[in-house]
Amino acid sequence: MRYVGMKISTRQITFIVILALCVSIGYAEILFQDDFEGKNAIVQRVIDETKWMPIPSWKLSDNEDKHAVLGKKVLDIWGHGAGLSVAEFPEEFDYYADFKTMEGTGPGSVARFVFHAQEDRVDPLNVIQANSIYNYYSATIATEGAKYSPQHIGWGRRFARERVWRVWRVPFADRQNRKRDVWYRVKFEVRANQQFHAYLGEVGAAPNELVFVGTWTDNEKKFASGKIGFSLIGSIEWGWGERAQFDNIVVTTPGFLPVEPKGKLPLTWGELKHE
């Protein structure tokens, strides 16, 4: 049996594959990114307040672990309230971050990520601290050394007007142990109907190398959109608190698959942004 006109060169095949990839991700884009390497007018590295609403316990620290993917500076946080992004995000997005849990002076060895943070003005006299008037969801990664539920992922819901937390903790789905003072990469898939999925891997890992570790759905459907951020437990003013470091924060529309051979998220992802 003969086939006419079916000769296709390797170059043509490559072009077809590239075209297919472009079509598949063309709708996707980066919504937010920060690697904490920015400088101000006097050439000092500072937290970018056009992106974040930092709280006093936030500071930039040197990358003492010397991971190339982390650059020169990382975000260092002690326990005490929630620091949030300036921008709000829609119902669905993917949230990537590199993080390291550290020994604190309290529970310790915990990294907490915040989603769908929404201001809740329930205090007309404004006596509640600014970082305490937000409703939000959170995901907690507890590594070895955590006082409560090490090797667990915890899902939380904070409702300001009730001034209470609702927390659900489960072991990592892959049953692997994560160490303190070791950098990891996490991805959260934030989806419609208040569904959340979490994936973990080595710092610098590609998205397809991250391993599923947990999921949760808020059946009460409290918060559908809002800010992202971080919230640790405790107050250094009271002599105790959790401590963690973060870097390479990237938020994308769902399904965006960046290509980054060196593992540093923001640089190459910014070049691949599709409007």
How far apart are the C-alpha atoms of 185 and 208, rounded to whole Å? 12
pLDDT digits (tens, 9 = 90+) for 82-125: 899 999 999 999 999 999 999 877 777 899 999 999 987 665 55
Task: Check the CA dihedral 63-201-153-226 and report its sign.
Answer: positive
How far apart are the C-alpha atoms of 180 and 258, rounded to whole Å? 28
Q: Is the pLDDT of residue 175 over 50?
A: yes
pLDDT digits (tens, 9 = 90+) for 204-248: 998 889 999 999 999 999 999 999 999 888 766 666 788 999 999
Q: Is the pLDDT of residue 130 over 70?
A: no
Q: Residue 219: its pLDDT value, please?
A: 92
How far apart are the C-alpha atoms of 207 and 109, rounded to whole Å? 24
Quickly count: other Cβ atoms within 10 Å of residue 179's Cβ. 13
Name the E strands within 43-122: 52-53, 58-62, 73-78, 82-85, 93-102, 110-119
Q: Residue 160: its pLDDT value, please?
A: 77
Q: Which residue has the higher pLDDT, 170 or 259?
A: 170
Q: Are 178 and 186 in contact (CB under 8 A)?
A: no
Q: Residue 18: its pLDDT value, please?
A: 36
Task: Check the CA dihedral 39-40-46-48 and report its sign.
Answer: negative
Distance of alpha carbon 97 from the chain centroid: 4
Q: Residue 104: its pLDDT value, please?
A: 79
Q: Scan for tokens 């918060």, then name that residue.
A: 223
pTM score, whole prediction = 0.81
Choose the weakest-confidence range: 24-33, 43-52, 62-71, 253-262: 253-262
Q: Residue 80: its pLDDT value, please?
A: 76
Sort strands 58-62 and 73-78 into parallel, antiparallel or unpaired: antiparallel
Q: Residue 43: its pLDDT value, please?
A: 59
Q: Residue 81: its pLDDT value, please?
A: 78
Query: Which CATH fold would you assign to the domain 29-271?
Result: Jelly Rolls (2.60.120)
Within 8 A by CB and 6+ apart from 233, the residues are 79, 106, 107, 110, 112, 241, 242
